[in-house]
Structure 1
Amino acid sequence: MAGGSAERGELGIGAASAAPLPRRTKDAFGAAGIAGRAVGAVGLAAVGVLHLVWAAGSPWPARDAAALADAVVGSEHVPAAGPTVGVAVLALGGAAVVGGAGGAGPTARLIRAGAAGALIARGLAGGVAATKALRLPEPSARFRRLDRVVYRPVCLVLGAAVAWGSLGRIRRRKMG
């Protein structure tokens, strides 16, 4: 081929100047950010639905209300329906925003950051600190064990997922 540009194009030299590079639509957070949002949203939704089930009077997955109270708040009595519904509304609302409701505006970003921070703080501080902050009685040994092996790790994983998903969303918005 006599035309130098054709030869360069065949060899891959100068091809970038002839055609624009495709616009990158995903950053390094790509699939991991999407997974973080999905894990955070599904986890918060599950927490919200579970609290609605409890507010309706079901002790599931415990055998009765006393066993549920011991497991989830470390006392003899379950919290009233009102505060339980309040937790459900916060969790379900958080799930919606973490999942993408509200877009990438400042309010949605603030809610996502608040959800991540609250979950991570709960995971780091633990349930005993939470019960003290809520002025509840000293929690039972069963609650302390469940908090150490289930509740705290779940809060940390959900908080990290929400934070990671939020970071990816912020970075993509800035790149676009």
Structure 2
Amino acid sequence: MDEDRTRRRTGAALAGLLAADGLVHLYWATGATWPAPDERSLSLAVLGTEVSFGPPVVLPLAALTLTAGAGVLAHGYGRGGRVSRAVAGAVAAGLAVRGLAGLGWATGLLPSPPGSPFHALNLALYTPACLGFGWAAARLARAR
């Protein structure tokens, strides 16, 4: 019984993270730039480089994260069979890759402007969240 409860909680936590990410991307698709004053500042803080946050860029990301969240939640509740398990595995892989890239930025192996908002957010938030949630998604993906 505890194993089922842990799996459900893990699935719900991962789904919550992915849903929040998807909703933020939907919000940015409206042209809003919170928490930054403008699109350039937002891009530099979130990605460390200048890219568009227009609807053609952020809407597919929103769809991807919201769909992934639904798949992870389904797997957490023992639904969706192989498909939801594959989604959980893909989420684990994606978060692991992002977490490892974050370590690369943190150690200077990958270029990241020191002193930039991205550098600080990567160290304090993005990399730890990706590594932690990636580990949780990997454990969830292994659950049958």
* TM-score after normalising by structure 2: 0.80
Q: Deviations over 1:28-81 (max 9, x none)?
A: 523222211111000000011011111211111122222211101222443432
Letter in 2 for 1:140: P
5+ long unaligned stretches in structure 1: 1-25, 130-137, 171-176
- Residues 73 and 139, structure 1, Cα contact 8 Å, conserved in 2: no
**SS in structure 1 at match of 2:20:** helix
Give the corresponding residue for 1:107.
Answer: 83
**In structure 1, distance between residues paired with 2:132 and 2:121:** 16
- Partner of residue 113, structure 2: 140
Distance 1:75 1:121, change over 3 A: closer
Equivalence for 1:91:
65
TM-superposition CA deviations, 1:122-152 (whole Å, max 9, x none): 11222877xxxxxxxx653321221122111
Please say if 1:121 is aligned against 2:97: yes
Q: Give 1 or 2: higher helix fraction.
A: 2
Deviates more, 1:68-77 or 1:149-158: 68-77
Structure number with bigger Rg: 1
Change (3 A) 1:79 1:165: same
- TM-score computed with the length of structure 1 as normaliser: 0.67
Equivalent pairs: percent with the same residue?
Answer: 33
Deviant stretches of 4+, over 6 Å: none
RMSD: 2.3
Q: Which residue of 2 aligns with 1:161?
A: 136
Task: Give unpaired runs (5+ residues) of structure 2.
Answer: 106-110
Q: CA 1:110/1:76 → structure 2, altered by over 3 Å: closer, same or farther? A: closer
